[in-house]
Amino acid sequence: MGGYGDVLSIDTSGASQETANQDDLPYDGVDASHNMAETDLDRMNAYKEIIQKVGQQKRIDPAIIAGIISRQSRAGNTLKDGWGGDCWGLMQVNKNYHTLKGAWDSEEHIRQGTDILIGVIGNIKTKFRAWTAEQQLKGGLAAYNCGPRAVRAYDRVDENTSGGDFANDVVARAQWYKNHGGF
């Protein structure tokens, strides 16, 4: 879909123990990411129609959008009046770098977050032309969190991301949503 690669083909180590600790999980990795994605499924389903619509419009796999929303806001569960620190909405758009659009749980917000993701994937494609589409997607996910300049090598894609695992965790959550959540 859209030339961004197949999320199911991306290698991933999943969540770090730091991220898994948010749910008091005694284990990390792909299993932890899958557990957290499943925990968020009921809340995520409230946004499923919008996520699918935006994914189709933007030609990006809706499971990727769901993976970001699960990681960033736990499908809205961690937000206070739509805010998580300096970041807004389900996809946690940072007010210091972007003019915020839409209500925190709106189609307009999800479209803005998805546009930001597509933009940084483009930056990664330009920066790392020899990477496969799947590697560029994973690099774009890292860049969504830490910016394209902070992505330096595929084998260290998460070295500058929150928890040291952002892209790997989002990929694992997206894979779960693709396989089990109907996204």
* Residue-wise pLDDT tens digits, 32-63: 999 999 999 999 999 999 999 999 999 999 99
Residue 127 lies in a domain: yes
Range of the domain at 130: 7-181
Question: What pLDDT is stored for residue 3 in this prediction?
Answer: 80
- Read off the pTM: 0.98
pLDDT score recorded for residue 181: 92
Nearest residue to 170 via CA among 14, 10, 4: 14
* Total domains in the fold of the chain: 1
Name the stretches of the chain with pLDDT < 50.
none
Q: What is the CATH number of the domain that holds 118?
A: 1.10.530.10
pLDDT in the model for residue 1: 63
Q: Does residue 117 fall inside a structural domain?
A: yes
Burial of 134 (0-12, 13-18, 19+ CB in 10 A): middle
Question: Rounded to whole angstroms, how far apart are CA atoms 13 and 117?
Answer: 21
Asked whether 55 and 62 are in contact (CB, 8 A), the reply is yes
**Residue 1 forms part of a structural domain:** no
pLDDT at position 16 is 98
